[in-house]
Every structure is written in C-alpha cells, then in structure tokens.
C-alpha cells in the first residue's frame, strides 16, 4: 500500500482545501464564501433561477440550497420572489448589494484561481481542468 501522501484522494483533498482556503480568504472581506460566490456567479449569468436549477448546477441537495439561500438573503446578497407561473416556486434574484459586489468578487476569485495554479504551466492548467471535469462531473461513468 502506498503512503497516504501519495494517494489520489488525499492529494485531491489537499488541493481542494488549499484552493478553498485561498478563495475564502480573498472573499472574506466582502462577507461572501466560495460557495456563495459560485451561486452569485450563476445568477450573474442568468438572474431569476429557482433553487432547484441552482442546486443542480452547483451539485447541492435541496436542504443545502435552502440554507445557502437563507444565509445569502439574510446578508442581502439575494432575494426570493414568487415565480409568476408557479406560486410554489421561488425565483432567486441578486440584490443591488450583490450586484455592487460583482466586479470585486470576480476579481478576487480570479486571483484565487491564479494563486491556486501558480506552479503550473498553461498547458498543465488546461489538462488539470479536463481531468477534474472528467472525475467530478461524470459520476458513475468510470472504470470499476
């Protein structure tokens, strides 16, 4: 058996921890967490999505999404509005405060990404993204 420091799951976990900590540190002055930024990013692309749509894109279950939206609404980053076509569903919209933070949040996460991969060449970054996409987004399709 190989040493734990050479196990793929250990290495992936450590890389994720480092990346998350860098993002967390850079977003902290704005009162936003990395997962909150991810949700805002989706809403900046298309405002007014519902929690189920956002959860599917973020790969988060409905209970986690509810808590995330609650905290973000409490911090005045997003607001819920009833869906005009289905009163059982709420659409999530970025507030004025959330819009004001858009540029600085994007810039902070760009810096976080650059710091995370600073030891890699552009080709290595491209390869890493491809491999992580294959590992993370194609659950159940790999070898067994």
| For range 7-28, the mean pLDDT | 96
Terminal-to-terminal C-alpha distance of the chain: 19
Q: Could you read off the pLDDT of 124-141 as tens digits, one per residue?
A: 999 999 999 998 876 655
Where are the domains positioned within the chain?
16-137
Q: Which fold has domain 16-137?
A: Arc Repressor Mutant, subunit A (1.10.10)
For the chain, percent of residues with pLDDT exceeding 90: 88
Residue 140 pLDDT: 56
* Most confident of the following: 2-11, 53-62, 127-136: 53-62
| For range 62-85, the mean pLDDT | 97
Query: Cβ neighbours of residue 10 under 8 Å, at least 6 residues apart?
Result: 4
- The DSSP letter of residue 84 is T
pTM, 2 dp: 0.86
How far is the C-alpha of 52 from the C-alpha of 39, rounded, in Å? 12
């Amino acid at each position: 058996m190989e040493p734990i420091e050479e196990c793929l799951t250990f290495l992936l976990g450590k890389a994720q921890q480092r990346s998350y900590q860098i993002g967390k540190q850079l977003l902290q002055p704005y009162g936003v967490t990395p997962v909150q930024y991810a949700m805002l990013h989706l809403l900046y692309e298309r405002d007014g999505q519902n929690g189920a749509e956002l959860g599917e894109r973020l790969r988060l279950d409905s209970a986690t999404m509810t808590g995330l939206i609650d905290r973000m609404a409490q911090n005045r980053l997003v607001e819920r509005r009833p869906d005009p076509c289905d009163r059982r569903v709420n659409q999530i919209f970025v507030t004025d405060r959330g819009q004001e933070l858009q540029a600085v949040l994007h810039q902070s996460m760009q810096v976080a990404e650059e710091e995370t991969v600073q030891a890699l060449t552009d080709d290595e970054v491209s390869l890493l993204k491809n491999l992580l996409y294959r590992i993370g987004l194609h659950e159940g399709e790999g070898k067994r």
